[in-house]
Amino acid sequence: MSDSDLLTTPLDPLHRQSGARMVDFAGYAMPLQYQGILAEHLHCRAEAALFDVSHMGQAILTGPDAATVLERVVTGDIAGLKAGRQRYTLLTNESGGIVDDLMVANLGAALLLVFNAGRKHIDAAHIRAILPPGVTLETQFDRALIALQGPSAADILAAIAPAAGTMRFMDAITLDIGGVSTTITRSGYTGEDGFEIGVPATAAASFVTELLADPRLHWAGLGARDSLRLEAGLPLYGQDIDATTSPIEAGLGFAIGKRRRESWNFLGGAAMRAVHDHGPTRRLVGLSAEGRAPVRAGARLQNRDGLLLGQVTSGGFAPSLQEPIALAYVRTDHAQDGTEIFADLRGRLVRLHVTPLPFIPHRYHR
Amino acid sequence: MTETRFTQDHEWIRLDGAEAIIGITDHAQSALGDVVFVELPEPGRKVAAAEACAVVESVKAASDIYAPLAGVVSETNPALTDDPALVNKDPEGSAWFFKIRLDDPSAFATLMDADAYADLVKSL
């Protein structure tokens, strides 16, 4: 695909001015890095980082009993989601697999849904297929979305939007900031405290420029976003989870609401319940490696005797830990913390251990 | 100062008698990003021209390093094992990867010179 075929986000000119290296991600020209992945990663953990995630899809669901309607295709308790709160949930298919993982926020008058970039059109069609007359899903895929993440994020945002400073983890509000209509949630995908802010496309560049006036805030690209989420033990759709993955084996059982487990009355619920009741044959686990050689996605895992145990789905060097880490599916009987596992790395065996997730503690503002 | 020659794979080669010193170019380290691990060949290993014999791992991905010419690996750089980030800091100096005792030192002249390599980088 040539550069000109790629979609761009409303912040594209700012990225290029900031020296970003742009790459094709889900059909969008997106910043991979600015100063360097390591520096951006560490700055997010130490201070604050700004990510353009406008390629993700925002959509508004409205109408009578919209929450109950949505529950037909998601695992979460959406009807029980209070106004002003957000929840991580899973869009399901008939076989109990994951169509996408998404955020749903109750904004009072409407539900705000945030889809993964590569799945947003599929998600919208999947949801629209079950909507009764009167309930509508309005996609806002041209709207900008930025993630402000890190221990200084609240301080930086509160300087221009004081109301955001008093939010707690997974709060969701709509807020007028200097005449710009924004949606703000206190959440993110780095393991740090922070916010995701939806902004109209035309106002995005000036809003971001105002935030970046704070010298503590630096741009960070997709490279750092990936290493941050991996350290935080958060699965990436298309890599660690997909339409064939059961949430049970992916360790996402927490996203199935307590009330929802009583009836499993959502698309694929029966299949998911069967995995839950019988126990999965494989589990997504964290692995830490000895030495410095990263073990990457696709690496085959085995025991000392060469018995195949599974495969790495995400792997890399953890900048904050200064050691290689990975997410992998392994046979359930080898998924206990501390289990020794070997990866075949260029014909040489590298020793790994099953490690509790997350690799570094989450620092959410609860 | 001895002449530096280059390969299509963005490696540099300097000749010291019959021994070639090999590293990656500044362009290569910049494209790779932060280097976190380097795997080097065993001294004594016989390598063919264009044979993959080392690996450089950045935060993003793993990349092969090739023997630019045939010969026997005579020495590797221990500094890279201790401090892989040296590849980003001084790629065309102290961050050399390995040395090869060449089967045919005259083959050095078949590699790209600095001007040809500069043209290659410009064309990318």
Residue B45 Cα distances to B18, B41, B109, angstroms = 16, 7, 23
pLDDT confidence of residue A50: 98
A323-344 burial: b if 16+ Cβ within 10 Å, else e = bbbbbbbbbeebbeeebebbbe
The position carrying tokens 């000036």 is: A206
- From chain B, the residues in CB contact with A39 under 8 A are 34
Q: Out of 3.20.20.70, 2.40.30.110, 1.20.58.100, 3.30.70.600, select the CATH number for domain A281-360+362-366.
A: 2.40.30.110
pLDDT beyond 50 at A291: yes
pLDDT band at A347 (very low <50, low <70, confident <90, very high): confident
Closest CB from A36, A292, A346 relative to B34 = A36
**Average pLDDT of span A132-137:** 98
pLDDT confidence of residue A346: 86
Closest CB from B34, B37, B55 relative to A38 = B34
pLDDT beyond 80 at A76: yes
Q: Between A and B, how many CB-CB pairs are < 8 A?
A: 37
pLDDT beyond 80 at A310: yes
**Nearest in space to A314 (alpha carbons), one of A359, A263, A253, A364:** A359
- The predicted-structure confidence for A153-163, as pLDDT tens digits, reads as follows 999 999 999 99
Same fold, A55-139+246-279 and A281-360+362-366: no
Average pLDDT score, chain A: 97
CA atoms of A125 and A112, how far apart (whole Å):
16
CA-nearest residue of chain B to A346?
B55
- From chain A, the residues in CB contact with B39 under 8 A are 293, 346
pLDDT beyond 80 at A6: yes
pLDDT confidence of residue A167: 98
A179-198 burial: b if 16+ Cβ within 10 Å, else e = ebebbbbbbbbbbbbbbbbb
pLDDT: which is higher, A93 or B18:
A93
Give the closest-approach CA distance of B61 to chain A in angstroms.
Answer: 8
pLDDT confidence of residue A230: 98
- The predicted-structure confidence for A184-217, as pLDDT tens digits, reads as follows 999 999 999 999 999 999 999 999 999 999 999 9
The third-level CATH classification (topology) of the domain covering A55-139+246-279 is Alpha-Beta Plaits (3.30.70)
Structure token pair of residue A65: 């009993």
Closest CB from B34, B37, B61 relative to A293 = B37
pLDDT confidence of residue B69: 97
What percentage of chain A reaches a pLDDT higher than 90? 97
What percentage of chain A reaches a pLDDT higher than 70? 99
**Average pLDDT of span B41-68:** 95
Closest CB from B39, B55, B59 relative to A317 = B59
pLDDT beyond 50 at A229: yes
pLDDT confidence of residue B60: 86
pLDDT confidence of residue A187: 98
CB distance from B60 to chain A under 8 Å? Answer: yes
pLDDT band at A3 (very low <50, low <70, confident <90, very high): low
pLDDT confidence of residue A1: 46
**Average pLDDT of span B67-77:** 97
B93: CB partners within 8 A, 6+ apart: none
Class assignment of domain A3-51+143-231? alpha beta
Q: Let me know if A152 is exposed, middle or buried by CB neighbors in 10 A (0-12, 13-18, 19+).
A: buried
**Average pLDDT of span A328-337:** 98
A101-112 burial: b if 16+ Cβ within 10 Å, else e = bbbbbbbeebbb
Class assignment of domain B4-123? mainly beta
Q: Domain ranges for chain B, please list them.
A: 4-123
Choose from B60, B81, B89 for mutation: most chain A CBs within 10 A.
Answer: B60
Phi–psi pair at B36, nearest 5 degrees: -115, -10
Q: Domain ranges for chain A, please list them.
A: 3-51+143-231, 55-139+246-279, 281-360+362-366
